[in-house]
Chain A
Amino acid sequence: MMNETWKVDARDGKLAMAHIYVAFVALALGGLAGLLQVLVRSGKFELPAGISYYTILTTHGVLLGLVLTTFFIIGFQFAAVSRTAGTLSDRVRFWGWVGFWLMTIGTAITAFYILIGEASVLYTFYAPLQAHAGFYIGLTLVVVGSWVSGFAMFAHYAKWKKAHPGQVSPLLTFMSVVNMVLWLVCSLGVAATVLFQLIPWSLGYVDRINVLVSRTLFWYFGHPLVYFWLLPAYMIWYAIIPKIIGGKMFSDSLARMSFILFLIFSIPVGFHHQLVEPGIDPAWKYLQVVLTFMVVIPSLMTAFSMFATFEMYGRSKGATGLFGWLRKLPWGDARFFAPFIGMLFFIPAGAGGLVNASHQLNQVVHNTIWVTGHFHLTLATTVVLTFFGAAYWLIPHLTGRVMTKAMNRLAIIQTIVWSIGMIFMSSAMHFAGLLGAPRRSAFSTYGDAPQALEWIPYQIAQAVGGTILFIGIILVLIIVTNLAFFAPKGETEFPVAEVAEQAERTPLVFENWKLWIGIAVVLILIAYTVPFIDMIQNAPPGSKGFKLW
């Protein structure tokens, strides 16, 4: 089934690469926006020509949080399903391209309205700040495009299942399907607020909007969104990294179980982003806090699995002692090194996440720059370094090239530069946040308040870290451009791990979609029905739109 000579078909490769190009263009532009932000916030620099800090901030969030991630993930997953479940049919590929163009056109429309200053509402676009309708319509196209691609993947999976009755599907295909199911179920929330509330309101068809309902629908989507980013990184860790180091996967069934747990527990948790807001009874908040913490379990399983794989491999190479196996790992291989560093950063990132989601502790850090520091560890380090590490074999595989030793060395340096930059920036953000420095704010001394003056050294450290990170972005863009256009021609492997001999056969129950989606829906209904009815029954008068930038 997992024939090593299998390659991603050239036509499927084109589809995947189209997504990857958009992702890295977004990285370049969004990274530049990030650099400008840290410089402004150091207090030593002002944006020229009256450009608003908040326009730049909106650009940064939309391009890196939404565009880079969604495009890379969908491109990677198309390649992964083509590699493991066979070449896409012409029809599936056609719909993949439809999805791609919908997302790309949507991104262009949204970017246009942001850049002309009609949509400085940040990537969370909380009403009653009201952007131009084009901003919301563009975002709708991005989401609809991703749905089209998701259904294309489902169709491909269904075809495989039909051709292989009673067999367990290839792991990477299974994981891609889980991630797209998760995405589909959660993006219904943001689609509902955008289609039924924000677009009619921004076009003037309705006068007023229910702000709390809109926020709740947004956060029903907003937290599973981060798992939609994280799961592809987990795919790479579980199913690809073991092959890169030359070892075997610890257990196929535990990998599937952890993905199913993510599917079940990552959606009914949005209230932990709304812990300090009015209009929601604290008992319901607490229930969602409990559900939030359940995703710790699959993450613990993943950590165990990864380090078990590493240790088993090291010992098979003759390592002795408690930690001798660490020395056997391929530290000089960027395809391993970048994701591994990403894994290490996930330890403090996860711990910080526990603080954020803790019913009462959240109040200390809510909307402070601590939170920004947190997701620059999770998304901008763990996930992004893993994606970079994947790009180092995926791009040459798809373009028929090989990564040279020099580029591999540059990729190792890139990872180190990224880590150093992030340690400066993210630590400074965490510390300043504990002192109260807010997120999403231009430079301000708040009337020379002594407390605000204390934050400035941390803001300078953020600028230092951010500048180092920008150098990291330049390096990765050099590598990616080389791999896409200039690296020597040749064959690069798309690594897919095999399961260790001692692992058990995988049961078919993990593909009982009715069961798992059913459980997910029941949990969503339990967590949301009563508070949602409360919000609507006790709704205050709605809000008119405001354009305050």
Chain B
Amino acid sequence: MQGIMNNLVRATVLLAIVASLSTVARAESSAATKAMSMKSADAAGMGMDSMSMRATETKSIAPIVVGKPTRIEVKPEMILFATPMQYMNIVVSGFYADGRVQDLTRVATLATADARVARIQEGIVLPVGDGKTSVTVSVGDFKASIPVETVGHGKPEQVSFLNSVQAALTKQGCNQGACHGSPSGKGGFRLSLRAYDPVLDIETLVREAYTRRIDLMDPAGSLLLLKPLMEVAHGGGRRIKKDDYSYGMLRDWIAQGAKVDADGAATCVKIEVYPKNREYLRPAHVQQLLVLGHYSDGSVRDITKLADYLSSDEAVATVDPDGFVVSRERGETTVLVRYLDKMETTALTFLENVPGFQWSNPPESNFIDKFVFEKLKRLQIAPSEVCNDEEFVRRVYLDVIGRLPTIAETEAFLTNKASEKRSLLIEQLLASDEFPSFWALKWADLLRVRKTKISEPGVHKFHHWIEQAVRENMPYDEFARRLVTASGSTLSNPAANFYRTSADVNDCTETASQLFLGVRIQCAKCHNHPFERWTQDNYYGIAAFFQRVQRKKTTDADDLVVWTARTGETTQPRTGKTMKPWAPLKGELDLPGEDDRRDAFAAWLTDPNNPFFAKVEVNRIWGHLTGRGIIEPVDDFRESNPAAHPALLEALAKDFVAHGYDRKHVMRTILNSRTYQLSSRRNEFNKDDVKYFSHSKTRMLSAEQLLDAICQVTGVPEKYAGLPAGTRAVELPSPDVDNYFLKVFGQPARETACACERAGESNLSQALQMINGPLVHGKIKDEKNRARVLAASGKSHSDVIKELYLAAFCRVPSAPELKAALDHIAKSGDAQRGLEDVCWAILNTNEFLFQH
């Protein structure tokens, strides 16, 4: 495929465009974005290495060489077996003189001093009888001793339904959302999502359908086991093996009568993961995790085999069901460990000495570069060079004011000799009149400015309010406070539309959480969040702040009056409890009876110590400017979705707060950083990086940017019904203008407050729109088309082509490009048609379609 594409690229400009467009058509997330070549002519020269997908093949696990550790560390430090079913894995770490650490679990040998108390089986310590002894761990020349005590060994022990069976069903994926955990179950068998409702589950497992699922006479013959074993055909496929620990738990539980836990049986109060955060340097590349459950009876049990694991970056490292981590390539990952409703994370960094890598010591423009480069250096990823002026001018115009620079603006910048010209341009754009409308668009998306929600006059008023806030650079805390505490007529106080688009208390809870805390809390409405700590109680605790918001219609159908009642409490639907207002990390709030609770929420929200508020906004700005949030998606903050660069995010947020929540200040800082200004061309040492900002991220223009750019390059503006001529797509107050092109390219319908509503993926419809759609076709054929007008004015074809290149790419064509275009015009016989083809071809290049 690459070879053929190369030939195509070389063949003619036209074909090159088609080839590259086909890539757009199949574009999927980062892999395809990576594959985008920038300049059609350069592409051949650059080689198509960037086409190769991220390496997916596994580096095999290398043998662990003990070497010469200076000390070893064993975990746990002591073992107390309080019931016969307990067991304990021992994790062994070696520390070396050069500061390295390595997991030696798999090469350590274990022995017990008294086999009547404890024994070793396949690296696991098991109780044998009451008494005290110790386990000796030997690795290399080192020995460590772990005291062991066994008590109450003779007592019979039931397999715990809650602690073992529910965990096993969760670990094997039986009760996940796509399977039996979906609200309607699968195949008539429904479990609660990730076991949040044990009362329902035991009923379903044991008694539903006349005990169909279990066989007390032949436990191993239970349908509950035969199905996931695929011994009886199972729509969900193979889910368990007979030698899985979970299998033994399920079977033994059935053998013991499939009973509920006795009243007062121990429950898990917290889990602990070892090691907690660690950095490795190859050859160290594996880690056996140890997960300990702390129970209400004081016992500490090994639950490594019952917990389930999720690696935040599987390309960096994978975790198997036994908690064994294997690194695949250098980078960082956070392992999320879940056991029933408990979760913990551990951040693991895998470093590697990359042959030939040398740190180039690039200059740092500001603190952003310090953080980014420090990490790149550690991960041995070389940042790209700084982008050239042509790339910069195009990039910064698109990012800051949402449009391409005019030819005059481009030329002015390119010919400017001032050394500070980039900073000057940044200042000029931040102060420009087009800045507010472009950034208002982003917030209008999130605030759901749409006729159906807030009426047509409401759209204009609210949009204007947002735009004005950007124009006067309203501090972000002020902006949020005004929205959250707004009351009155939505027409006279447009900020009150916040409570019009969020039409009920749940919507308010979810929108406020999403926008200002970066938390997608919707899941917790019906059950505890499956990937995060957020519980159902938290959801209704936040809801309590908004419970009293009331909405009243007026005689004017376009208006709505928002006010707050003096009473009104929130009830948690599952428990029936009345919820006090609750704020993350602050807990329950005791608020005076008749106060508007929203004031308290706003005060908590905008408190400089609020760990979420500032971060979410700087992350959102960072995401807009670089194409990828430090946390991505930008409004999905959770432990299982760690920041690519927590320190950088922290620093940006601190700087933001210190500068009075000045959003322009944040933008200025980012735009002036070398990191922002890096080229999108990758080098040998950063070609696989997609998350550490070692190069600029190529990304397709947004729907509005693209449409405006097409209009600008062709010189044929688009008309929108009911709006003044000359209105640009980025200035549209709402998506109510029915523009098919914008929709196809991902303009959101503003149904939710989620940033994800703006679709980032490319699709075939887009390709067809660009290739053959009426909008593009019409603009190319229009008699006011730039190429036509220029040609009619007597300019040479060569000059016309140069202007087109400048307008679309902010650069002049290379000699081969110019020649290819001129040749095509000559061959086509009809010069006008030939020029139209070239114009079409330009619009269909990745270099035009993408921000780079």
A is bound by B: no
**Which residues of B does A touch, CB under 8 Å?**
none
